[in-house]
Structure formats: structure tokens, C-alpha cells
Amino acid sequence: MRIALFATCIVDAMYPRTAQATVSILERLGHEVVFPSGQACCGQMHVNSGYLKEAVPVVANHVRAFDTEDYDVAVAPSGSCVASVKHQHPMVARSCGDTALEARAAAVGARTYELSELLVDVLGVTDAGAQLGSYFPHRVTYHPSCHGMRLLRLGDRQARLLRSVQGIELAELPEADQCCGFGGTFSMKNADVSSAMLEDKTANVRSTGAELCTGGDASCLMHIGGGLSRQGSDVTTLHLAEILASTAEAPASVTGDVRVSTGKATR
Amino acid sequence: MSTFLGMPSLPVFGTGNLHAAESFPTAAHRELGNAQLRANLGHATHTIRDKRLQVVSELPDWEQLRDAGSAIKESVMARLPELLEQFEQNFTAHGGVIHWARDADEANAIVAGLIRDTGETEVVKVKSMATQEIGLNEYLEEQGITAFETDLAELIVQLDHDKPSHILVPAIHKNRTEIRDIFLREMPGADPELTDNPAVLAMAARAHLRRKFLTAKVAVSGANFALADSGTLAVVESEGNGRMCLTLPETLITVMGVEKLLPSWQDLEVFMQLLPRSSTGERMNPYTSLWTGVTEGDGPQNVHLVLLDNGRSAALADELGRSALHCIRCSACMNVCPVYERTGGHAYGSTYPGPIGAILSPLLTGIESEENSSLPYASSLCGACYDACPVKINIPDILVHLRSVDVDSKRGKKKLPSQMDVGMKAASWALSSGKRLGLLEKGLPLGRLAAGPDQKITKLPGIAAGWTQSRDIPAPPQKSFRDWWAKEHHGPESGGTNAPAQGNAPADAHNNAQAKAQDKEDGA
């Protein structure tokens, strides 16, 4: 299968390892990964902050990048960005009266998948240890991000994949379904409420005794990790793609010196 | 001088207790500092939340019920004028009197006039959101009429000269010791030996209220539903105080928002399953009172209904926001909201707090009214409210819609653009082209430099300081994924899998050199 990677802006600029890990997983399964070079961002920061007019060129750019490329399905390591592509892009196009863009956006959205959704529903991954060689001998807790859980209805796909990683010890996160308080510009506009939500989330993370907290959205993980860092905690965050890409030969560590396998760059 | 053209100008926005007097972040900052409030709220919302989940999970057709509730309300909104007239006809035919009120002032004046006509100066009240919305109690007080709240929690709030903070459990922010102190201080004839035992407190309130029920000649209520096909009104309650008010006095005056209508009796079946489960987490509420105009020789003989617009027509005119009018005031959204749980209801200013308040208040008043434009931002858009809503109001989508209404309403009106305006414009330029973003990402090493030796950014200026008040930002990587892909990714090797990737680890330089050497060997 030819799979187009939507890296998402935050992963592209801040967490390249997450996208590299996504590439690695897909190539290991024998698929060809392409990276439409015109891509930038899904535009949900603009939409969710009320700047619909400013979101239009961002959305148009994404649609252009992804409907000119030849591929079977598109994937992004983010529930939130995929939800934006699927649900917000047609709405943004409609808001500016561009019916052609609306139709193209809907077509791109229809074949865009969140990573765990693609792995489980399309590529048939049920056992990450056996099928991907995933190996991660650490105590981990998992935060299911709101948009993956409530907008995409990912259910337990991410948790099932994590549980099937060799060597992993998954500690259940209390109040896991509660928002971490990120919410894009909410974290700045309503910084006090956002911080109060984060405080409870990080306390729950620390209570599990896990070495790290994983999840499917780099933005939420940046938020939770940023809070843990400020609190002086040793607990870190790591995207689930990096855990799935970690193998016994090239293990990812929890402390940042992460060595994941991707393609053939070195041998 | 204005010229009367025979038609009211639309939309007429709502007045009364619908306005935030200060911005949400300012109010929230203060409320967050109240540790007692947060503890009470956390405990109370979690208890109701769990009860709701339990009784909802018992119903195999819960999702279908939500769909039905949503569809019925949608059809009501689509034919509101016709249904209102049908209701008026039936209610009037049974001896009731209908009054139409455009806004809070008109409604208050009508109710006060009706009470004056009876010669009474005291009324008993059933808990009602509509009368709080229009500020009826305060208005009546100015007119020399005393209104006694008879719902226990409303009574507590009224005795304490406080404001409700939750639409179902208005005294959710008070604990039992505080309640005992209020009773001792404010309730005439309260036993000085009163303890903070809930049963003892309830009995004290009961004795106090019973005196009022037996002497009151006039009652004021709201209504949960109005059935167009029969002209029937319905009040759904738990304590029985409502039943007392609706049956004992001679005159009954009900104030109801026009959106409370249902087409028929049959539709009540759906809502009587949705409402108690969603609000108190009960399968069935203890008391449901239904009345159709006047019944000779039984109950109130003077029955009035004030039909209140107060911004509802304006909300109905907003295509993307109008489904907020589907709300049946169950309060499930506030019980699951992580923002409400931490700030409480007072932070929202309006009678309607929580997620529904954050959309309903600005829809009723217009986004530009006082500080209501800050309300749609009072959400992380986590979506818990949408999942809990029994009539499936897509609150997150409406929040986002109202944010854009707010931003658009300010375009071109400001002397100087805000930091957010400037940032969003710049980000729109940078993020609408892969080339431009790629070029900017060449500056990532500068961010690493700024992060310093411990590789984290701990202080940012301007609006970004909101982030760094409680969070660090990690140092950015040496290079973007885009850069790595263009230069170093060459696809999978047959059968090969593993290779250390280039991330932002200290070993990067070494790995990169290795990778390049390897690429040469491979002839790549």
C-alpha cells in the first residue's frame, strides 16, 4: 500500500522522531511511505481560536498537498489533527463559500487515518510484538487524548496496541478520560484553569509509578511533559508511535536518548 | 426620535442576569483560589457523574433516545411560531391566560402586575431558571413584593443573599456546616441547637417552608415542558415543594422560555426518560406535575403563563448556534466539564453556567454584550459535554462557531491588533505553505540555543507567558522531520528494518555522520 504521511506541524518541527517512528512502523509492514512536501498544518489552531478567515489558506494548502499526491491512504500520528482534517476542513471551506474546496477537503478527509486506526482497522495489526517487533521493557501509563477518544471514537485501539508490545508494563492512569487541559490557545487564554487541569493530570500520572506517559497526540504529551518537567519530575512523555517502533535491537529509551528504527538510513 | 414602523426590529437580544460582569479568565482566577469550593465541586460533580453513567448504561436504547430528543427539538425550532399559537389556543381554551414578553423587563412587569392585581405582597416560588434569568426576585423586591424560594437549595442560596452556581443543585458550592450557619443566621425561629446533620437541616427547612405553603395565595413557577397539542404545562422536581406551590395557592403564574415547547404528549415519553437520568442520575424523578389551564374547584383558579423570548429569537436566527435552544436544563454538561468542575458556576457570570452557559448566554445577549465574548473560550474543547448532552447539542462546535463570531465582530474595530491577531496572521502565512514552514524550520537550532544547557524553555513573553506559568517547553530538535526526510530517508531496504534514527539526542552528530557514510556506501 502507498501511504501518505501527514507529519503534522508540531511533530515536523518539534518531535521529528515521532514521524520517523511512524515511517519505520509502516515500512516494516512492507508499505511504501510518501511525504507530500507541500504539507504544513491542519489549521485547527486557527479554527479553534476563532480565526476562520486565517484558517482558509492553511486548510486549502493541506487539501492541495494531499489531493495532488498519488496514494492509497493518508496517516497522521495525531487524533486531534486527523479529526480536524475530517470534521473541520469541509466546514472551513463552507464558511468561505468555496464548494469545490469543500468537496476536495471531504475526499481527503475520507481517506485520512489516525495511526492506531490505520494499524488496527486497515493494516490488521493485532499484536505489535509479533507483527512489528515492538519491544519496550518499561513501566508506562497511557493518556487517551480527547479528540481521538471523542471525535474519532478510537476506543481501545491505542491501548490494545500498547498492551501487545513485548516487555511493556502498562499501568492504568486514574481518571484517564479527563482532559489534560491543553486545548490549544486555551492553555494561554485561560492559563489558570488549564494549569489546574494539568495539575490533576500530572498528579494522576505520577501516582501510577510509571517511567513515562504515552499517548497518540504530541500536543497533549508536550503539555503533560511540560508540566512534569516544571514540577521537577523524572517522568517523561513519549508518543506511542515511538514505543511501537522500538525493538530489541534498537530500543527507545525513556530519557530522550531515543534510538528508533526507521528505514535503512544506517545498518 | 424614532419612527414606529409597525414591526419590531430583529433580533431582540436578551436582558437580565445573562451577562458576565467580568471576563471569564479574571473570574476563574478568583474562584480557583477557593479551595473549599473546588473540593465541594469536585466531590459533588463526580458523585452525580457516576450516578448518571450508571442509570444511562441501563438503557439499551439510550443513543436512540438522544437521537429522538434531538430530532423532536429540531422540529420544534423549525415550526416554533405555529406550535406556540397552537399551545396558546389550547391553554386559553382551558381557562389559562397567556402573556407574551419580549425581554426581561416586560416579563418582570407582567408578573408584578399580576401579583398586584391579587392584592398580595408575598409569593412562593418553584425553582425556575427563567425567573432567575430575568431577575424576577430582585425586581419584585423593588416593587414591595417578597418572593420565597421553596426548593431547599434555592432557599439556602436566597437566605445567604448569594447567587446559585449550578442550575440543578444551586448550592453545590456550600457544605453542610455553612448551611447550618446560614439557617441560624437568617431563618426566623430556627432552633439555636441546630446541628449540621443533613436530616436535621432538611427538617428545619421543612418546618419553615410549610408555614409559607399554607398561607401563600400566589405562586410563581417555571416549566420544564409545554405540550402544544393539549395546552399542558409540566414541572419536573424532586422535593415536592413544587407540587405544593402548583396546587395550594389561588393564583399560579408561570414564566417559561418559548423554546420549552414539545409538539405532543407522546413526545413527553422521550424527555421523561432523558431528563431525570441526565440531571439527578435517577431513573425517575419523584414529582412530575402537569396542568392544563384551570380545573374548576381544584387547584389554582387563576392560571397565567408568561411566554418569554429574551433573546431566543436572536439565538434561533443563528443557523450554527440555534441548537443551543434544545437545552432541557438537565445540567449533565456542567457535571462532566473539567472547566466547570474547577471554577464553579459563578465564574460564568450568567444564570446559565458551564458549557451550555458558555454558548447560551452569548447567543441570547449577542456576542458583543459586556464580557460575554470571553465565555466561548472557557473550554478546552474536550468534548465531554457533547457526549453527556441528552439532546445531543454539539457544544464544542458551537463554542468554536461563537469564537469566530467574536473574532469577526472585532475585525477593523480595534486601533491596534492584539498579540493573538498578529500571531494568527503570521501563523496563517507560515502554515499555508510547506516551503515557508520548511524555511522557518531551518531556525530550529536557534531555539536549541535559547533553551540553554538544560535544554528547556521556561519563560516566554506576552500571551505565551500563560504557557510557561506552569509548563516548560523542550528544546527543539536539530532539524525538522521534513529536513530529515529530504536528506536522509531513502525508503525501506528489502528485509531490513532497524536503524537508529536521527532525533534530538546528543548522539545526533555521530549518527548523522554514520548515516551519511552508509548512504555513500549504498550508492544512495
Q: Enumerate residues 6+ apart whose C-beta is below 8 A from B310.
A: B14, B15, B16, B18, B101, B102, B103, B104, B107, B133, B134, B257, B364
Kindly indicate the confidence band of residue B5, based on its pLDDT and cuts at 50, 70 and 90: low
- Nearest to B153, CA basis, from B167, B139, B135, B137: B167
Question: Cβ of A188 and B463 within 8 Å?
Answer: yes
Kindly indicate the confidence band of residue B174, based on its pLDDT and cuts at 50, 70 and 90: confident
Q: Which of A58, A194, A266 lies nearest to residue B518, judging by beta carbons? A: A266
Question: Cβ of A49 and B387 within 8 Å?
Answer: no
From residue A105, alpha-carbon distances to A130, A259, A262, B164 in Å are: 36, 36, 30, 45
Q: What pLDDT, in 10s, does the model give residues A155-195?
A: 999 999 999 999 999 999 999 999 999 999 999 999 999 99
State how far the Cα of A62 lies from the Cα of B345, in Å rounded to an integer: 40
Whether the Cβ atoms of residue B80 and residue B316 lie closer than 8 Å to each other: yes
Amino acid at B144: G
Whether the Cβ atoms of residue B304 and residue B253 lie closer than 8 Å to each other: yes
Interface of B with A in 14-33 (CB under 8 A): 24-25, 28-29, 32
pLDDT reading at B7 higher than 70: no
Q: Indicate which of A53, A266, A267 best probes the interface with B, i.e. most B CBs within 10 Å of its own CB.
A: A266
Sheet hosting strand A212-215, strand order edge to edge: A169-171, A139-142, A212-215, A236-239
Q: Indicate which of B471, B494, B519 best probes the interface with A, i.e. most A CBs within 10 Å of its own CB.
A: B471
- Element of type H or E holding B473: strand B473-474
Cβ neighbours around B285 below 10 Å, total? 17
From residue B225, alpha-carbon distances to B138, B179, B190, B222, B252 in Å are: 25, 31, 36, 9, 16
pLDDT reading at A5 higher than 50: yes
State how far the Cα of B304 lies from the Cα of B186, in Å rounded to an integer: 32
Q: Which of B377, B463, B484 lies nearest to residue A16, judging by beta carbons? A: B484
- Nearest to A10, CA basis, from A222, A226, A244, A259: A222
Interface of B with A in 462-501 (CB under 8 A): 463-464, 466-467, 469-474, 476-477, 479-482, 484-486, 488-493, 496-501
- Do you know the residue count of chain B? 524
Grid cell in block for residue B502: 536521527
B451–A contact, CB cutoff 8 A: no
Whether the Cβ atoms of residue B224 and residue B46 lie closer than 8 Å to each other: no
Rg (CA), chain B: 29
Task: Tell me the average pLDDT of chain B.
Answer: 90
B55–A contact, CB cutoff 8 A: no
From residue B188, alpha-carbon distances to B140, B208, B475 in Å are: 21, 8, 65
Sheet hosting strand B225-227, strand order edge to edge: B261-262, B225-227, B232-237, B287-291
Kindly indicate the confidence band of residue B6, based on its pLDDT and cuts at 50, 70 and 90: low
pLDDT reading at B520 higher than 90: no
- Nearest to B463, CA basis, from B415, B439, B427: B427
Question: What is the SS3 assignment for A67?
Answer: helix
Q: Which of A181, A192, A258 lies nearest to residue B380, judging by beta carbons? A: A181
Chain B residues with CB-CB distance to A223 below 8 A? 471
- pTM, entire model: 0.92
B505–A contact, CB cutoff 8 A: yes
Location of C-alpha cell 511501537: A244
For B35-315, the fitting CATH number among 3.55.40.10, 3.40.50.10420, 3.20.20.140, 3.40.50.150 is 3.40.50.10420
Question: Cβ of B428 and A35 within 8 Å?
Answer: no
Question: Cβ of B514 and A45 within 8 Å?
Answer: no
Question: What is the SS3 assignment for A255?
Answer: coil
Q: What pLDDT, in 10s, does the model give residues B30-41?
A: 999 998 888 888
Kindly indicate the confidence band of residue A62, based on its pLDDT and cuts at 50, 70 and 90: very high
Residue range B377-395: mean pLDDT, rounded: 98
Question: Cβ of A46 and B470 within 8 Å?
Answer: no
Kindly indicate the confidence band of residue B489, based on its pLDDT and cuts at 50, 70 and 90: confident
Chain B residues with CB-CB distance to A37 below 8 A? 434, 482, 486
Contacts 24+ apart (CB under 8 A), B5-12: B8/B102, B10/B313, B10/B314, B10/B317, B11/B311, B11/B313, B11/B314, B11/B317, B11/B366, B12/B102, B12/B103, B12/B309, B12/B311, B12/B313, B12/B314
Provide the pLDDT for residue B94. 97
Cβ neighbours around B75 below 10 Å, total? 14
Grid cell in block for residue B44: 459533588
Extents of the domains making up chain B: 35-315, 319-412, 423-478
Residue range B229-247: mean pLDDT, rounded: 96
Whether the Cβ atoms of residue A215 and residue A143 lie closer than 8 Å to each other: yes
Q: Indicate which of B431, B456, B458, B472 best probes the interface with A, i.e. most A CBs within 10 Å of its own CB.
A: B431
Grid cell in block for residue A159: 491501548
Provide the pLDDT for residue B11. 62
Angle ∠(B93,B95,B99) on CA atoms, nearest 5: 90
Residue range B196-208: mean pLDDT, rounded: 93
